[in-house]
Amino acid sequence: MNELSDIFKIKWNNFYIQGDVQTSFEADIFEIMPKDFLKFAKSDTQITEIKGKISVVANAKRAIDCQTDYILAYLGYDYKNLNLERYPEVQIIIDEFNTESNCEKNIAQKLKIIQALGISPVSLINRTRKVRNKLEHEYSIPKNNEILEAVELADLFINTTSNIVIHEMITDYAIQN
């Protein structure tokens, strides 16, 4: 400690450590960001016709998908081409996590990665995807409680994962007076 004190001239009895938020990762890598889709979904809740219900669910799901891709890009993966041949370590991570009995098996591959990496549990998020799938493949109008839940889950997912990515995945720190 004395050597560091001599080299850096830091007052070790009065210092703080700050996570380095300077990164080469572009904050806005997409033209439309997850919070934009979330804002659209929230705004669409004001439209009481079927069109509004459809827009809420579609935009909530887009917000979740966009956030998922953002996280994967932040971690250095090619979110557009996330195949297991290119990233064999991803399958290992997923397989290790899937040995747990509480893991839902019927979720999208990208969400499995998010869950296996410990960024977010995704079984609730998957509910929004299921509502959207019923809308797009069974042509079923979402119910009011499903609409509200879709927006709230997208909001929760984006805010929680943003906080984790920003605050828990910082690897560089600065020590300063």
| Per-residue model confidence as pLDDT tens digits over 155-165 | 999 999 987 77
Q: What is the pLDDT of residues 116-157, one digit of tens each?
A: 888 888 888 888 888 999 999 999 999 999 999 999 999 999
Beta strands in 25-168 (DSSP E): none
Gyration radius of the chain's alpha carbons:
20
pLDDT of 116 reads 86
Is residue 177 pLDDT above 90, yes or no? no
Is residue 176 pLDDT above 90, yes or no? no
pLDDT of 55 reads 96
Torsion of CA 42, 43, 45, 49, to 10 degrees: -150
Residue 22 or residue 173, greater confidence: 173
3-state secondary structure 23-40: CCCCCCCCCCCHHHHHHH
pLDDT of 155 reads 96
DSSP state of 117: T
**Of the listed ranges 31-40, 62-71, 75-84, the one predicted with least confidence:** 75-84
Residues contacting 47, CB < 8 A, separation 6+: 53, 55
pLDDT of 104 reads 62
